Structure 1
Amino acid sequence: MADSASQRVLLTGGSSGVGFEAAKVLSAQGHELTILCRNQATADQTLSQLSGSARSVTCDLADLSAVEEVCNQLLADETALDALVLNAGLQYAGASEAQFSAQNIELTFAVNQLAHQLMAMRLLPLLQRAARPRLVITASEVHNPGSGAGKVGKPADLGELEGLRAGAGFAMLNGSARFDGNKAYKDSKLCNVLMARELNRQLDAAMPVIAWSPGLVITRNSGGFFRYNKRSNPLGMGAFAFVARDLLRITESVDNAGRLLAQLVNDPEIPTGFSYFTNKVVSFGGHRLEPTDTSVEGADLQKAEALWQLSAQLITRSLST
């Protein structure tokens, strides 16, 4: 059941894919959106397609300095946030060489996790001013080695966070010097789950902290974060999309995944505390969003705290240089 009252929602990754579809739903419902976009052209295009109240803020999530600047702007506004939706993500499927952010941090981790942790660290005061705040983080079932998608290729595994402990310049979080783009994405989604766990601990379960998996979302033009994979391996991505979407019919449509994200943002029946939802395949081409257990590593509260603390230290060092 959706909440009819207007909410103030900050959304990352709202210019394409699942995030854009969610933005269309939330905007049409009358919620006040603030959408982070990479550049002004993207912002203008996004806002032109929304029917309700929305504004854009230009921010490159691959640059922690830009994220910090945006957070300072939002804090200066002193406007409460009803929902913080950390949805943006990228994946370099098949890549064997790491790419690095403005602060020399492996790009998948920098965008999918570190930028979002910085936003959570800075913007929690705005959430805590709202009457019924919530945090929503887009993770993925690939974080779980026991899931179907998690079994393909090397599984998510953060080890003892050896790479992160070494500081900027690491290729993989577990300390491996050999980069694997698929595993880096899985690891980042495991980090998203652990971030949600740690935020819930810090907040003492005072608000809903929701991590979720939208399922395997592939658009007809391989949009969303799959655009990076299409550039590096167009034939492979095309074949994968055809089999998964058209033959096996295990994929979810981008518009329905967006509706599910909007539902998680404004459903008042979701309880306070940590929740993990998965958009499960339940029939040939059918899906159902339901509460699910995370992986064992995704439930490791000690690792969640260590990940948060080491990431916070990396953010501090990166912003001070």
Structure 2
Amino acid sequence: MTMSGWSADRIPDQSGRRYVITGANSGLGAAMAEALTAAGAEVTIACRNLDKAERVASSIGDRARVAELNLADLSSVREFATGVDDFDVLINNAGVMALPFARTVDGFEMQMGTNHLGHFALTGLLLPKIGERVVTMSSLAQNWGRIHADDLNWERRRYNRWSAYGDSKLANMVFGRELSRRLTESGSPVRSVLAHPGYAATGLMRQSETPVDYLMRAGEMLHVGQSAAQGALPALYAATEDVANGSYWGPDFVVRGAPASARYRSAADDQPTRDRLWVASEKLTGVTFEV
């Protein structure tokens, strides 16, 4: 199903609605914040780099506020969650990509720790305050990921930065789908939906310190992909339109285009895989969900 011609100016009136967007200090997140506030919403820009966040917020105006959140530090996640009032929509957007091996404050592999475990903990802590939906950003990289629930932190495997990134984005997909199931079974009115940006020209795609960076730059120069504002459209559609719980949205031409229903790996619907990842995530983060 393709939403032909759907663009940010078709976002329904968002007056009175409140959003929390992680990593909205640049790229896709900043584009989402700008589009949502233009439609009348109030947005909390939740991120680690407060200087960049303040610049984005000042360009938007009084409908945007900044709050510190470091997804690579569970104490920061807990502090942020404690300070947030009730709101409507959480957009789990922040992420790191193809980093050299590093660990978070809590000892998690940095990509899994930031992209999945940090958002898992944040969502669990905020869920009682969320009125309408959770939008989790996955990626085309989920297509090469695997869920190693017994080794999420690369303690038994030889580290590969691109495999680690794919694993973390498949984990986002598995988490979002399982959360939708649990919300439905608990009778909650909250929805869990997912999106991916296709190939969007953001700085995230040119920081791997590998030859792939040159391919990314070439792709941007040849306009293979799309702008951050265009890449944000599937998530904006998922966040503002009446979409089904558990649905997944991306560009209609896969790497670019208007929002459309997207395909995902069958692993995301494998219940034993879901269960193993959920249990491992709860154990590592110490966060349990009320659903």
- Do they superpose with TM above 0.5? yes
Question: Is the Cα–Cα contact under 8 Å of residues 24 and 51 in structure 1 kept in the other structure?
Answer: no
- In the other structure, the counterpart of 1:148 is none
Q: 2:12 aligns with which of 3, 12, 24?
A: 3
- Name the CA distance, whole Å, in 1 between partners of 2:252 and 2:18: 29
Give the CA deviation at 1:262: 2.4
- In the other structure, the counterpart of 1:137 is 136
Give the CA deviation at 1:309: 1.6
Question: Is the Cα–Cα contact under 8 Å of residues 196 and 235 in structure 2 kept in the other structure?
Answer: no
- In the other structure, the counterpart of 1:167 is none
Q: SS at 2:173's partner residue?
A: helix
- In the other structure, the counterpart of 2:227 is 253
Give the CA deviation at 1:198: 1.5
Question: Is the Cα–Cα contact under 8 Å of residues 198 and 256 in structure 2 kept in the other structure?
Answer: no
Give the CA deviation at 1:305: 2.2
- In the other structure, the counterpart of 1:314 is 284
Question: Is the Cα–Cα contact under 8 Å of residues 12 and 36 in structure 1 kept in the other structure?
Answer: yes
- In the other structure, the counterpart of 1:149 is none
Q: 2:218 aligns with which of 243, 256, 259?
A: 243
Q: In the TM superposition, what are the counterparts of 1:280-299 in structure 2 within 5 Å?
A: 280-281=252-253, 287-299=257-269
- Name the CA distance, whole Å, in 2 between partners of 1:19 and 1:192: 17
Question: Is the Cα–Cα contact under 8 Å of residues 28 and 52 in structure 1 kept in the other structure?
Answer: no
Question: Is the Cα–Cα contact under 8 Å of residues 38 and 58 in structure 1 kept in the other structure?
Answer: yes
Give the CA deviation at 1:72: 1.3
AA partner of residue 263 (structure 2): D
Give the CA deviation at 1:91: 0.7
AA partner of residue 103 (structure 1): D
- Name the CA distance, whole Å, in 1 between partners of 2:125 and 2:256: 39
RMSD: 2.1
The structure-2 alpha-carbon separation of the partners of 1:43 and 1:245, relative to structure 1 and needing over 3 Å to count, comes to closer
Give the CA deviation at 1:300: 1.4
Q: How many residues align?
A: 274
Give the CA deviation at 1:86: 0.3
AA partner of residue 262 (structure 2): T
Question: Is the Cα–Cα contact under 8 Å of residues 247 and 261 in structure 2 kept in the other structure?
Answer: yes
Q: After superposition, give the CA deviation of every residue in 1:13-49 in whole Å (9 maximum; x if it has no partner).
A: 1001111011111111110111112143233222112
Give the CA deviation at 1:208: 3.0
- In the other structure, the counterpart of 2:246 is 274
- In the other structure, the counterpart of 1:216 is 199
Structure 2 stretches lacking a partner, 5+ long: 1-9
Give the CA deviation at 1:252: 2.0
Question: Is the Cα–Cα contact under 8 Å of residues 31 and 52 in structure 1 kept in the other structure?
Answer: no
Q: SS at 2:207's partner residue?
A: helix
Matched, 1:187 2:167: yes
Runs of 4+ off more than 4 Å: none
Structure 1 stretches lacking a partner, 5+ long: 145-154, 165-169
Q: After superposition, give the CA deviation of every residue in 1:34-84 in whole Å (9 maximum; x if it has no partner).
A: 11121432332221121351111112111111111111122xxxx322101
The structure-2 alpha-carbon separation of the partners of 1:69 and 1:240, relative to structure 1 and needing over 3 Å to count, comes to same
- In the other structure, the counterpart of 1:262 is 236
The structure-2 alpha-carbon separation of the partners of 1:52 and 1:270, relative to structure 1 and needing over 3 Å to count, comes to farther
Give the CA deviation at 1:183: 0.8
- In the other structure, the counterpart of 1:113 is 116
- In the other structure, the counterpart of 2:4 is none
- In the other structure, the counterpart of 1:300 is 270
